[in-house]
Structure 1
Amino acid sequence: MSSIQLPDPTSWGGALLLSDLGIISADGADAANFLHGQFSQDINGQTAQEARLAAYCSAKGRMLASLLNLRPASEQILMLTDSQVLPGLLKRLSMFVMRSKVKLSDAGASMAVVGLLGEPAAAHLGDAAAGAPWGVQPVLNGWLVGLPAVLGARRWYWVGPKADAQALVDALPALDAGAWQWLDVMSGLPRIEAATVDQFVPQMINFELIGGVNFKKGCYPGQEVVARSQYRGTTKRRAFVVHAAAALQPGQEVFSSADPAQPAGLVVNTASANGVHSALVELKLNALGSDLRAGSAEGVALTMGALPYEVPQAEEAA
């Protein structure tokens, strides 16, 4: 692909029920303290006015789930995560509750997540639309979460009761799921899906660059591996945006002409919009600049795209 004309998302706008996101609710006096000891993020210090990204890792530091956490009350944490990953995450977390005063439950029967995009959504939200990225406000019987803008397009999550979620969607133009997912990819904010569970240390997919790892908090599963990757300069892989002539799949291997005999990376998330197929891929830094292919060394050609944040690749590749 010699030249790629990306869509202009500033012309898009509306609302969409995000069925690919599930919600786990943790309720009880020990909810925050329990999750603080499980995740890569400071949960104890989180306020009701902010959403925080977090990783749940194995003992080897590999991400079993990525989460966006809200704390609407001091004794309640809402965890947004991939809907296919949610059952395994809920089961695993429940194994460690023991005598802690916390109840974990799948809130999907009563709550939903709505994706809001662009000027139609901003007009409907009014003053609340001016909130900062990762800020949380009570809006329309739920909580509005500001997301970083992507290619000039403003985005929000709304989290709340299902009936109110449907009313919000009905009040705005319908938003195409592919368009929203494409903006997710272009945002460089990775999500662990079923095909990529237990594949990445957080730094391999830039999770610490976007605020998903707090290196000052106490211990959590995999913390020693994550800290070692950070402070000993052992991160030799990073996530990048690529474009392709055909749709890609999460978990698909990526190959480099520099070493075609073995995989050079893995597809993290994928999406297509307006005929453009894009993906967030994890790559060996020493594969940058080579011919990249998906699926095999003779597979679909990949063209490097642009992330909205800087990746410190030069010094790590040395």
Structure 2
Amino acid sequence: MLTIPATPRLYPLTDRAVISLTGEDSVKYLQGQVTCDVAALAAGDACAGGHCDAKGKLWAPFWLANLGEQLLLVYQHSLKARQLAELKKFAVFAKTEVSDAGEHWQVFGLAGEGLSHWLNSHVGDGNLWQGGIIMPLAAEHALLVLPVGAELPELPQGSEQEWQGLMIQAGLPDMSAEHQGEYIPQMLNLQAIGGISFTKGCYLGQETVARAKYRGANKKAMFVLEGKAGGPIAVNQDLELQLGDNWRRAGTVLSHWQQGEDCLLTAVLNKDLEADAVLRLKEQPASRLRLRPLPYDLVD
């Protein structure tokens, strides 16, 4: 099964999109659009967040960075078409420019034992570096966003698929276009990783997100599953839960990692699922999946 590298590695990521916001109203505008507290981020700060429709359903979970004169959102590339259009929709009423900045930035993963020590040695205080930014994600995991053409860290490189597996192990949410408009932010555990502010005031979809917290309206969460699968796994494949001798539909695959028969995946499932629950991929009846403990507490 996948383990974190013994030394830091650099993971070139081709499936990440980058949106840029510039202009004097950028912070104020984005504050009214997304779940996280944009105004609380100083230059060099970063956090998780989500962008929802008016009903509180996610268009995209993302990582947000404040570069001082510019805000950057990093997220899964397949979400870009809808996400960018929705983010631009009301920007015409503010002094901000929202643009697809993918051709100007390159995105990398950083992970491995000793990464924090390596960052202290090579970056020092603060996260702004080489004209870009390092965005801490979890213990010994980070995103590195650099201008195209910038000098890269001298680290061994890992594969994009390995990075995906490390993100799953860390319980960090990812989502593809197949699931846009399907889940509220708490179903992807954004509140557990600091991606939702319940004190910042109004934003798009805020009423639904607040109701899920204060009225207990949310009965689902994102879980990590590990096990064996003989065939390839794909996003949006159906998952089934074993109930005695029967199997019942339980959810669909959000993200996945696979090496041989070993696999890791995330899925949105009922929060009352038993810790010893057994699941399988519907299209692979011989597959078997079990819950992997999340590295954080699930709170509403």
Preserved CA contact (<8 Å) 2:12 2:159: no
TM-score by length of 2: 0.89
Aligned AA (2:42): T
Q: Is 1:230 the counterpart of 2:213 in the alignment?
A: yes
Please state if 1:63 is matched with 2:83.
no
User: How much does 1:141 deviate?
Assistant: 2.9
SS for the counterpart of 1:44 is helix
Distance 2:271 2:144 in 1: 36
Structure 2 CA distance for partners of 1:116 and 1:286, relative to 1, 3 Å = closer
TM-superposition CA deviations, 1:141-162 (whole Å, max 9, x none): 321222312xxxx222211211
Residues 120, 172 of structure 1: 8 Å contact kept: no
Give 1:127 shift: 2.5
| CA distance in structure 1 between the partners assigned to 2:117 and 2:272 by the alignment | 46
Q: Hey, what's the Cα distance between the residues in 2 that align with 1:275 and 1:129?
A: 39
The 8 Å contact of residues 60 and 222 in structure 1, kept in 2 or not, is answered as yes
Q: Counterparts in 2 of 1:93-172, with a 5 A limit?
A: 93-118=87-112, 125-128=119-122, 137-149=127-139, 154-164=140-150, 167-168=151-152, 171-172=154-155
Given that 2:223 and 2:294 are in contact with CA atoms closer than 8 Å, whether structure 1 keeps it comes out as: yes
Letter in 2 for 1:148: A
Distance 1:125 1:215, change over 3 A: closer
Q: CA deviation at 1:79?
A: 0.8
- 1:3 maps to what in 2? none
| Alpha-carbon offset, residue 299 of structure 1 | 6.2
- What does residue 253 of structure 1 align with? 238
> In the alignment, residue 164 of structure 2 is paired with which amino acid?
Q
Residue 297 of structure 1: how far off its partner (Å): 9.3
TM-score, with structure 1 as normaliser: 0.84
1:28 alignment partner in structure 2:
23
Unaligned stretches of 5+ residues in structure 1: 1-5
Structure 2 alignment gaps of length 5 or more = none
Deviations 1:149-181 (A, max 9, x none): 2xxxx22221121111xx316x32121222111
* Contact residue 4 and residue 111 of structure 2 kept, 8 A: no
Per-residue displacement from partner, 1:170-209 (whole Å, max 9, x unpaired)? Answer: x321212221110011111102212221121111121111
TM-align CA RMSD = 2.5
- Displacement of 1:130 after TM fit? 7.2
Q: Matches of 1:255 and 1:177 in 2, distance apart? A: 28
Q: Give the letter for the 2:152 counterpart.
A: L
CA distance in structure 2 between the aligned counterparts of 1:203 and 1:113, rounded to whole angstroms: 26
Q: Is the 8 A contact 2:242 2:248 kept in 1?
A: no
**Mapping 1:1-318, distance limit 5 Å:** 6-11=1-6, 13-73=8-68, 75-118=69-112, 125-128=119-122, 137-149=127-139, 154-164=140-150, 167-168=151-152, 171-246=154-229, 247-258=232-243, 263-273=249-259, 276-288=262-274, 289-295=276-282, 298=285, 300-312=287-299
Question: d(CA) in 1 for partners of 2:207 and 2:117?
Answer: 46
